[in-house]
Amino acid sequence: MIDYDALAGRAHGGRPTIAIVLSAEERARIEAAMRPAKAEQRVVRRAQALLMMADGVPGTDIAQLLGLHVVTVQKWRRRFDCKNPGDKLADAPRSGRPPSLSRMPSQRE
């Protein structure tokens, strides 16, 4: 886990940082999504960013800590600005043909 306590709520140039409001249950659910060993790294990174946003860490610091571009953090902030931001961690469904695997014909002897 990244230690960002010193960055939360710090004074910085630019627009004031507005923290995303998370309930205790939602925070626990987001932290639980980061724990599984087989969790997708993109979901873990979004969860880390969301928790930092909830703690009032500026977007430039989030981008630097997670190795992201500032525009990506701004996009995620808009994405998480909803009633249940924890539901927005996973990728949205994509358009297009769903993946399919056909069965190999059984080989006859």
pLDDT tens readout for residues 27-60: 999 999 888 888 889 999 999 999 999 998 999 9
Structure tokens at 21: 């409001």
Q: Say if residue 109's pLDDT is above 60.
A: no
Put residue 94 in one of left, alpha, beta given phi > 0 → left and psi -120 to 50 → alpha.
beta
Total residue count of the chain as it appears in this document:
109
- How large is the average pLDDT for residues 2-20? 74
pTM: 0.77
Please give the helix or strand (H or E) that residue 53 lies within, else none. helix 41-54
pLDDT score, position 94: 80
* φ, ψ dihedrals at 75, nearest 5°: -65, -45
> When comparing pLDDT for 24 and 103, which is higher?
24
pLDDT score, position 9: 66
Structure tokens at 38: 């087989």
CA proximity to 68, closest of 86, 42, 87, 94: 42
CA proximity to 86, closest of 39, 28, 9: 28
pLDDT score, position 1: 60
pLDDT score, position 19: 86
